[in-house]
A and B are shown apart, each in its own frame.
Chain A
Amino acid sequence: MDKYSWAWFHRFASPPYVYRVAELWAPWFAWIAGLLIAAGLYGGLWSSPPDYQQGDGFRIIYIHVPSAYLSMMCYGIVATASTIGLVWRMKIAHTVAVAAAPLGASFTFLALITGALWGKPMWGAYWVWDARLTSELILLFLYLGFIALSRAYEDSRSGDRAGAVLALVGVVNLPIIHYSVVWWSSLHQGSTKFFGGNADIQTSMLMPLLLMIFGFTCLFAACLAKRVQLELLGRERNAAWAAEAVR
């Protein structure tokens, strides 16, 4: 790498710089998220027709699918940030991972709740051990494990690194876990693939869904920016710039 790109790299590793960047971007992401979600909800709840099979119950996918997608993307972010933190020894990467994990857990939880709410009118029970939802449940445990481990260490620098190792082990296992659960589910429930069965999604449904997915992603980015700011303030509370920032 040439000297210029190393300078950029090092600048990104500085907490005050990242704090300022996050401060700048968060409101933009929040506003865009608001607009996209509003548009998506309007399209999803108002202007698209009810499904001929499921009536109005299916509309929960406008929250369920973005949540599920984001829960997995967030784990990817946690794993990537953890790798950067371990390999390049950048503390800021660990800060991002630690800030993102609770967000990921929340999205996972939201996906589980909306999945259960969808399940009741569809299958008559809130929880039927569907493959996708069971995978999401295990993902939730992976998140909670990460959060618990990184907080269990007294020294947060070590806690970050421990969580990072766990995140990497988790990300390698995740596809294995997912496919085992899918296989297990197919054994015991036949070929009922509820959430994968949206083969013929009409444009009227697809558009709001995409809007919601992008909207949620922006919402996630805004929340992550804010949480990173919070984490940085907490970790660097003894530094001069932190005192300035809080003033």
Chain B
Amino acid sequence: MTLEARSLGLWRVERCLCRDLSFRLGSGEILQFAGPNGSGKTSLMRAVAGVGRLDEGELFWEGNPATRSDGYRTDLLYLGHQTGLKSHLSATENYLFYQSIAGYSSEIGAKEALGRCGVTEPADRPVATLSMGQRRRAALARLLGVKAKLWLLDEPLTSLDTEGVGLVSQLLKSHVKGGGMAILATHQLLPGIEAQRLELGGKA
């Protein structure tokens, strides 16, 4: 399983974020997009996921062009800045919803997944009543509920305490051990995680 990016170019609001960017990611590998705020980590991440606009270059998933191909969307899981949780639903309901629309869902139930992520008591309350940290943990539970080969995590450590950071590292380690791959956009360092680094330039 490989993700290959060739000569990616991104422009946002007339500003060039990156040009002629290429990388390759194989099973069991982690890639980290690093760089200061405003360097385009999120835009690049979203472009790789397929939601953001890719102005130049091409992405290849398992040798085939990735853009909008069903196979790519089924194999990836994107957790962005926003949690993707509906605030009027509970964490459990959100989890079950995402399991039902995913390509491949795991057998891990809502209670277990949320429990492993540290969301036990608040699991059945509307997400609006949860703190930011709890919401982030509830969002992370999706990583257990959906089976995806490629994880795209944009700033996964926001709002998390040290325990939370440890949780993310643990999730990544088991994912990678099972042959999965991940791209992280973060300027924080993750303990015990080995990753290739891709530096994105500062302000153009």
Contact = CB atoms under 8 A, between A and B. Distances in A.
The short answer to whether A and B are in direct contact, CB under 8 Å, is: yes
Interface of A: 154-158, 235, 238
Contact of B53 (A154, A158, A235, A238): A158
Contacts of A235: 14
Contacts of B13: 154-156
A235 B55 CA distance: 15
Contacts of A156: 13-14
**Number of contact residues on B: which range applies?**
under 10
Nearest to A238: B14
A235 B14 CA distance: 8
Given A155-B12, A155-B13, A158-B53, 4 more contacts: A155-B14, A156-B14, A157-B11, A238-B14
A157 B55 CA distance: 9
The residue among A155, A158, A235 with the most chain B CB atoms within 10 A of its own CB is A155
A154 B14 CA distance: 9
Contacts of B14: 155-156, 235, 238
Contacts of B12: 155
Contacts of A238: 14
Interface string B10-23: 01111000000000
A13 to B, nearest CB: 13
| Interchain residue pairs A-B with the least CB separation, the first 8 | A155-B13, A154-B13, A155-B12, A157-B11, A158-B53, A157-B53, A156-B14, A157-B55
B58 to A, nearest CB: 12
A10 to B, nearest CB: 14
Nearest to A91: B55
A118 B12 CA distance: 49
Interface in B25-71: 53, 55
Contacts of A154: 13
10 contacts: A154-B13, A155-B12, A155-B13, A155-B14, A156-B13, A156-B14, A157-B11, A158-B53, A235-B14, A238-B14
A158 B14 CA distance: 11
A155 B14 CA distance: 7
A14 to B, nearest CB: 14
A95 to B, nearest CB: 14
